[in-house]
Amino acid sequence: MESTKERGQLIIIGGAEDKEGDCQILREFVRCAGGTKAKIAVLTAATSEPRSAGETYTRVFERLGVEDVRVLDTIHREDADDPENLKIIEEATGAFFTGGDQALIIEHIKGTQLDALLHQRNREGMVVGGTSAGAAIMPDLMIIEGDSETNARMDAIEMGPGMGFLHSVVIDQHFAQRGRLGRLISALLQQPANLGFGIDEDTAVVVDGDEFKVLGRGAITVVDESEATYDNLDELLKDEAMAVCGVRLHILPQGFRFNLKTRKPVFSRSIELRDSNPKKEAEVERE
């Protein structure tokens, strides 16, 4: 019988999240997954040290009160079709991708029975989270690798298929810490996505339906190129610098929300806009 529960949240973390203190972001993941009754699967496909990563997150989630934490290793692609691993996801209320190399997640999981089951269970209400590489894989198309601390260039990034939990976006992680604005814009201009999310370390977006909220000590940089007025892509050679005009930029720290359909920040009524221009105020979504 098909579940009537709403799609589960996506908790997308920019990497280096707090694992020793209050663990605000991982605490939110646990809360969304059912609190102390959560059943969490830790997927270690991205890391070259799956045992260590599995032990680390098992320890953190157990400290937060979760009694049922299981590590799902997919060292070989055939592991993603193993009935025992599929059973872990069938029973889980939350699936969490660790950091590492995002290309390994695609290599070992995409197109397998595990891939299909993860999407099915998310549609049924299972929360899906990921940090660093586990964040990069969330869109349809992901940044496989690229240059940090660079201007936007044709050759600044390499793109490839992601896991497709979130559509029409590009995500970059460790954002402010590694100066990745140039490569995020490079990705946006070259791929069919209008929104880019740059997620700082120890910061997350919690996607719930058509909105996300921001958690953590950093910020989310939202780049919206859907109404860009000019770019020079047709004129460029591979190693030349890009130009783009009319791009919208939003910097959203903890507590702020963003509507994915309207492409606008959502302000609570308690927040006063500093710009008194009524036309600009009219562009901002309000609760």
Nearest to 93 by CA among 114, 69, 73: 69
| 243 within 8 A of 270, measured Cβ to Cβ | no
29 burial class (0-12, 13-18, 19+ CB within 10 angstroms)?
A: buried
Q: Is 268 a catalytic residue?
A: no
Pick the catalytic residue: 174, 272, 283, 285? Answer: 174
| 46 within 8 A of 97, measured Cβ to Cβ | yes
| Terminal CA-CA length for the chain | 36
Distances (CA, A) of 212 to 190, 256, 259, 264: 25, 9, 7, 11
Any idea what DSSP says for residue 166? Answer: B
Pick the catalytic residue: 28, 108, 132, 186? Answer: 132
| 175 within 8 A of 216, measured Cβ to Cβ | no
| 254 within 8 A of 213, measured Cβ to Cβ | no
Q: Is 226 a catalytic residue?
A: no
Residue whose pair of structure tokens reads 């606008």 in the numeric block = 264
d(CA 287, CA 283): 13
Pick the catalytic residue: 17, 28, 201, 225? Answer: 201
DSSP for 221-234, please give it: EEEE-TT--EE-GG
Q: Is 62 a catalytic residue?
A: no
Point out the residues that are catalytic: 132, 174, 201
